Each structure stands twice: as structure tokens, then as C-alpha cells.
Amino acid sequence: MPTAFLFAGQGSQSVGMGKDLASSCPDCAALFERADEVLRFPLRRAMWEGSADDLRHTAVLQPALLALEVAQARHLRAMGLGPGWLAGHSVGQYSALVVAESLPFEEALHLVRERGLLMQEAVPDGVGAMAAVLGLDRAEIRRLCRIAAGVVGIASHNAPGNTVISGERAAVAEASALCKEAGASIVELPVSAPCCSRRASASWSSAAPPISCSAAPAATCWTSSGASTPPPVSCRSRKPRRASRRRIEAQPKRPRCEKRSAALGAATDLRRFRAARCGPCC
């Protein structure tokens, strides 16, 4: 039976993640070290020595998850367990692309770092929130979100009985309370932005005139000492970044394949963020 690797998105993190893996696997340790070099800030310290509050900031968390998930996949492959299928939930799609060898690890780090910076610029920390609603019908969750004052709605359907809501912090709290009264269990997600919500979409849309994104394909890949939040890395204007983007965008000129089409999706994702401040969730 084929094996599938499914890479998680934000909200699945914990302080210390990947530390044991780096201690036991030299190749994984080298990969984490490479992430520090590429991003030019101590990602390992944020992952292993910082606080949970430091780690939840989306500009830190997204590259942290990417590094962890790629390291895990490489370790499993070294043990003889390779995937027949790869998929990623939200930011996990970039991990899937890297493991599928559709996108270089270094370029993916820059993509998710900038993705996180733009998300946080669109909605400042503390304005929004996300919560998982467990054990309640989606239609009922949707109805209760409409009752709550403010902007809140369903962000994702993780599984039957597992739905995520997102929006303004007060509205999410009110909707969560209503869902709890209806018999649901609530788990607040440790994230710094209300991903996949109308609140985030409105902020992204107001940042720049809307553009047409109809040609952008999905990037999900189906193939064989108390660290503070690091200062923003100026990776938007460096010439190597622009050259990297051109290399990705030039791929469709070569013979098409599923992997290259998926990589094009990641490049289009970045262009969409830069021009319209409207991007994918989580």
C-alpha cells in the first residue's frame, strides 16, 4: 500500500520541536543550521529555547514548521520509508513541494518567511484569533457564527467533527462560547493571525488595488534565553531573491510535469502576496 506524507499547518507547533531529531540525526541538524543561515536569524533558538508566545508569531512559525517537516521527511526516507503521495495543509504545502523536489529548500524558506511577514502586516497581532470547534455539525457552527457580533466564520473543515473558525478576537470568543453551549469542545489555536477569515481578506484587499489571480494554480503537491520575535528580514529587495523567483517562473518553459506545475503555484503565491496582499490561509 502506498505511503502518504501529510504536512501540517500552523497551530501544530510546540517549543522544542525538532530538537531531539537534530540530536540524533546529523543530516537533520545540518538542515536546521542551514535554515538559520538562509534566514539570517536564529530559527533554532526560537524553536527550541524561546517561549510558546514567541513561536506562534506567523513570520517565525511558518519557516519553523517548514524546516521541521522537511527534516522529518528526510529522516524517514533515510530509514527506508519514502512517500508515494505528498500533501500539505496550508503552509504544509510548501513542505510537500520541497520533499517532492519541486522547490529548493532555501527558496521555500524565503517564501514562507515573507508569507508570514505579509500576513502579520495585514492583521496585527492580537486583532484576530482562531479556534477549533470539536464535535459540532458544520451547519450549526455556521449558524452560530452568524449570531456572533463582529467578523467570524468557518476557516477550514479539518475532518468530520473538527472545524476551525477564524476572525476578530472578540467575535471568535463569542462564537466559541455559543458553540460550547451547544455541546462542542473548543481549542484555541496558538497563532498570531486570523488566517482564512473575512477579517484577514479585508485587510489584504485594502492594502493594494485588487488584481486578477485567476491563473494561479493550487500549490498542494500530489506526487511520488527566551528568544523574542526576530526583526523582519529584508528579503524582498535582495537581488538573489529576484533571481530565484525568475528561475521558478521560467520552469513552465521546460517540459511540463506535475512537480513543476506545483512549483509554479508557489511562485504565483508569492507574486499574489506582493501585489495584492491577499494570500492563502494559515
Please report whether residue 203 resides in a domain. no
In a domain, 91, yes or no: yes
Which residues contact residue 80 at a Cβ distance below 8 angstroms, ignoring those fewer than 6 apart? none
Domain containing 165 equals 128-191
For residues 115 and 245, give the distance between their C-alpha atoms in angstroms, rounded to a whole number: 14
Q: Is there a single domain that holds both residue 110 and residue 53?
A: yes
CB 148 within 8 A of CB 180: no
Judge whether 12 lies within some domain.
Answer: yes
What is the radius of gyration, based on Cα positions, of the chain?
Answer: 19
Distance, C-alpha 45 to centroid of its chain: 20
Q: What is the CATH number of the domain that holds 58?
A: 3.40.366.10
The whole-number pLDDT of residue 118 equals 87
Question: For the chain, which residues score pLDDT lower than 50?
Answer: 204-256, 258-264, 266-282
Per-residue model confidence as pLDDT tens digits over 195-220: 766 655 555 444 444 433 332 333 33
Q: How far apart are CA 74 and CA 7, in angstroms?
A: 13
* Three cell numbers, residue 19: 530538537
Phi first, then psi, for residue 120 (nearest 5°) are -70, -30
Question: Both 34 and 101 in a single domain?
Answer: yes
Contacts of 256 (CB under 8 A, 6+ apart): none
Please report the pLDDT score of residue 261 as a whole number.
44
27 & 82 share domain: yes
| Claim to verify: residue 93 and residue 160 sit in the same structural domain | no
Q: State the amino acid at position 268 in one-letter form.
A: T
Alpha helices by DSSP H, the chain:
19-24, 26-39, 43-48, 52-55, 58-78, 92-99, 105-122, 138-147, 169-181, 198-207, 239-249, 258-276
pLDDT of residue 90: 85
Domain count, the chain: 2
The pLDDT assigned to 260 comes to: 44
Between CA 71 and CA 21 the distance in angstroms is 8
Residue 187 pairs in a beta bridge with: 132
Identify whether residues 60 and 182 lie together within a single domain.
no
Which pLDDT does position 281 carry in this prediction?
Answer: 40
Residue 127 is predicted with a pLDDT of: 85
pTM: 0.67
pLDDT at 199: 57
CATH code of the domain containing 173: 3.30.70.250
Q: How far apart, in whole angstroms, are the C-alpha atoms of residue 192 and residue 126?
A: 7
Q: Are residues 159 and 230 in the same domain?
A: no
Regarding whether 8 and 83 lie in a shared domain, the answer is yes
In a domain? residue 197: no
* pLDDT for the residue 123: 77
Closest CA to 277 of 213, 189, 218: 213
Last residue of a domain, one of 156, 191, 226: 191
Tell me the C-alpha to C-alpha distance, in Å, between residue 235 and each of 31, 191, 246, 269: 20, 23, 15, 16
**Selection from 25, 28, 96, 30 nearest residue 66 by Cα:** 96
Pair 81, 220 in one domain:
yes
Please report, as a single letter, which amino acid is at residue 36.
Answer: D
Q: CB of 4 within 8 A of CB of 92? A: no
Q: What is the pLDDT of residues 230-272, one digit of tens each?
A: 333 333 333 334 443 444 344 444 444 544 444 445 444 444 4
Order of strands across the sheet with 152-159?
Answer: 152-159, 162-168, 128-134, 185-188
- Answer yes or no: do 150 and 99 share one domain: no
Same domain? 177 vs 113: no
- 153: closest CA among 135, 129, 124, 188? 129
Buried b (16+ CB within 10 A) or exposed e, 48-62: bebeeebbbbbbbbb
